[in-house]
Amino acid sequence: MRASRLLSLLLLLQTRERMTARELAAELEVSVRTVYRDVESLSAAGVPVYADRGPDGGYRLLNGYRTRLTGLTATEAESLTLSALPGPASQLGLGDVLAAELKLMAALPPDLRSRAARIRERFHLDAPGWFRSPDEVPHLHAIADAVWNQHRIEVLYRRWRRPQQVTRTLDPLGVVLKAGTWYLIARAADPAPDPHPAPHPDAPADGTADAPRTYRVSRVLTLRALPGHFDRPHGFDLAAYWAAYAERFEADAYREHATVKLSPDGLTRSQILLPPTMARAALDTATPPGPDGWVHATLPIESVRHAHVEFLKLGADVEVVDPPHLRDMIAATARAITARYTPADG
């Protein structure tokens, strides 16, 4: 561990030219005192590291010194594919992103190193969605290990529909991070027909019993790795599977429709406040504005209850035309709100 930290310190100085002890401590997640000891160790080993005093001071390497220890380990090379997502990489057990990135930066010529640093300064990817806490995924590391090493696993899984908990023996094929939520794509090792299929993340990709399924990792309650290996399905493409699954899931989720009228402000706000599927349909199906500027549009909805909540976000800038039951629900809510805010003597 200390040897790895010393190498990281050396590569930091090589790539950033000059850093204070406090900056090095923050980057390496150690104390300033530990940095002092590590610098002394590097100097004792013959590394020409010097300390410049003053307000612009810090540690630096003698001009022209470059370490040749820039070869990537296998784990570091794997982690580079997730270097823009250090949090998810750590969750997956690929914790060598920093070391791999430092080695790569140290190996680059100065001009390319400068360009790479500017990209990191100007672009950042934050995967999780807004306004919700991330899922607890205590078994993600074990799942990622099983995916990588093609180990069969046995899981206790809390399903979306009854029975709520089931035990499954799975061949894990891949993991997907979608808007901050982790999903496991796996094939049942002991497939059995599902008598109650439903369009949800634990539903099969097609009608066959042994087709890959999608499981929400946070619903894995227990996990046990099984001995031996499994063979991946020939030609299985994780990205293609997920694209098809996401399209099918969205289509299955929004099976009903509602006809609404939207004010100019309502049409604009629908693009911010409504789910993407509904927002796109609002633009795609909007009729030419009437004399009052309002448009008609037909929007897909998950259910009347779900649409009731979504349309209330638009307030008086939306009028439900159809279905009648949804219109009645909105009207009842509007009356209840009016009664709540009307003074008792008024």
Dihedral angle at the C-alpha atoms of 7, 9, 11, 14, nearest 10 degrees?
-140
Asked if residues 153 and 169 have their Cβ atoms less than 8 Å apart, the reply is: yes
Residue pair 269/263 in contact (Cβ under 8 Å)? The answer is: no
Beta strand segments in the chain, E: 18-19, 49-52, 58-61, 151-158, 165-178, 181-188, 213-216, 220-229, 256-262, 295-301, 318-322
Tokens of 78: 């794997």
Alpha-carbon distance of 88 to 140, in angstroms, equals: 10
CA dist., res. 261 & res. 327, Å (int): 12
What per-residue confidence (pLDDT) applies to 88?
55
* Integer Cα distance of 77 and 101 in angstroms: 9
Q: Which pTM does this prediction carry?
A: 0.56
Q: What pLDDT does 251 receive?
A: 77
One pLDDT digit (tens) per residue for the chain, 346 residues: 566 777 778 778 877 778 899 999 998 888 999 999 888 888 877 778 888 777 667 888 887 666 655 454 545 444 444 444 555 555 555 555 455 555 555 555 566 556 555 655 665 556 666 666 777 888 988 888 898 889 999 999 988 766 688 899 999 999 888 877 889 999 988 655 444 444 444 554 444 557 899 999 999 999 999 988 899 988 899 989 998 988 888 778 888 999 999 999 999 999 999 988 899 999 999 999 999 999 999 999 999 999 999 999 999 999 999 999 999 999 999 999 999 998 876 5
Write down the pLDDT at residue 197.
Answer: 43
In whole angstroms, give the CA distance from residue 11 to residue 15. Answer: 6
Does 1.10.10.10 match the CATH number of domain 1-69? yes
Q: List, in order, residues 6 or more apart from 164 with CB less than 8 Å away.
A: 158
Residue 178, beta-bridge partner list: 181
Whole-angstrom Cα distance, residue 176 to residue 226? 22
